[in-house]
């Protein structure tokens, strides 16, 4: 392998610094003893204890997680179905319109999605709260799941589904025994993407939430307006840790499967 030139090393270091320095600062200051965010006064974990005891923050975290799990799951089911419809039934009436509409939320500004959903919920007379946020998040994240699953379906060999039917499996059995296991990795990553998006969202949640249902990003945002406290740093650090763990596990799993696969293939051709 080529040794990296000094220019490359600098470029990479600068790039990483640009991306991760803010997060690093946030993590460091979450362990700050002092109540003043910008003055270092020694190591302490007391802000984590404070978070644990802060009922408001804990409630918000709980709402966020419930919304995330539910929205991601429903969005994954609907998104997968939409992807199937788009790739498998290529000739139904209104297909172009349907695919356009599925992808619209992908490019629509959050503010507009939020506002239109708010209008809808008000017009329909829904009580705003947990359920409206969840519905809004399903709308938002479904199209991402569709994109991820659709690309897997397109690259999948259609003839294995035909082979299953040829061997006597009904379309439903074919889907459950052949299609789903093959696209499972894409469905799982679609779910994770949906969950993260839901976890992240501030704008749409703001429009569609009501009294009694505050998500963590909303809570953090409202507290920050009163001044950043080390508590917020601690919550954020926990969030970063959760997301990072997820990403690391996912990539290790993929990597390991890839390595295993390559070894198997070599073994197969070596004989």
Instruction: Give contact residues for another protein (rule: CB under 8 A).
Output: 157, 159-160, 162-171, 173, 177-178, 181-182, 261, 264-265, 267-269, 271
Nearer to another protein, 55 or 266 (CB): 266
Nearer to another protein, 5 or 159 (CB): 159
CB of 157 to another protein, least distance (A): 7
DSSP 168: T
d(CA 141, CA 137): 6
Place of tokens 């640009």: 18
d(CA 137, CA 114): 10
Residues 6+ apart with CB under 8 A from 35: 229, 230
CB of 156 to another protein, least distance (A): 9
CB of 91 to another protein, least distance (A): 12
Residues 6+ apart with CB under 8 A from 28: none
| CA nearest neighbour of 63 among 112, 1, 131 | 131
CB of 93 to another protein, least distance (A): 19
CB of 73 to another protein, least distance (A): 23
Nearer to another protein, 5 or 266 (CB): 266
Q: List the Cα angle 135/140/141 in 5-degree steps.
A: 100
Q: What is the CA radius of gyration of the chain?
A: 23
Locate 103 and state its tokens: 């992808």
- The separation between CA 267 and the C-alpha centre of its own chain, rounded to angstroms, equals 37
CB of 174 to another protein, least distance (A): 8
């Amino acid at each position: 392998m080529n040794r990296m030139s000094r220019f490359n090393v600098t470029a990479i270091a600068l790039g990483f610094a640009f991306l991760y320095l803010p997060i690093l600062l946030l993590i460091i200051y979450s362990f700050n003893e002092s109540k003043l965010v910008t003055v270092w006064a020694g190591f302490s974990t007391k802000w984590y204890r404070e978070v644990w005891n802060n009922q408001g923050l804990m409630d918000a975290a709980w709402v966020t997680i419930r919304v995330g799990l539910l929205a991601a799951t429903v969005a994954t089911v609907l998104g997968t179905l939409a992807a199937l419809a788009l790739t498998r039934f290529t000739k139904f009436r209104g297909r172009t319109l349907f695919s356009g509409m599925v992808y619209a939320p992908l490019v629509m500004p959050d503010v507009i999605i939020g506002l239109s959903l708010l209008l809808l919920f008000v017009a329909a007379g829904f009580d705003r709260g947990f359920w409206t946020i969840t519905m809004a998040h399903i709308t938002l994240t479904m199209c991402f799941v569709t994109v991820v699953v659709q690309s897997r379906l397109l690259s999948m060999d259609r003839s294995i589904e035909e082979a299953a039917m040829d061997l006597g499996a009904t379309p439903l059995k074919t889907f459950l025994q052949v299609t789903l296991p093959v696209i499972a990795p894409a469905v799982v990553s679609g779910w994770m993407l949906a969950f993260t998006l839901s976890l992240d969202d501030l704008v749409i949640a703001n429009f569609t939430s009501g009294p009694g249902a505050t998500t963590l990003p909303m809570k953090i945002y409202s507290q920050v307006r009163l001044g950043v406290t080390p508590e917020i740093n601690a919550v954020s650090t926990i969030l970063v840790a959760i997301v990072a763990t997820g990403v690391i596990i996912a990539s290790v799993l993929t990597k390991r499967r890839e390595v295993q696969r390559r070894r198997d293939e070599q073994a197969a051709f070596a004989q």
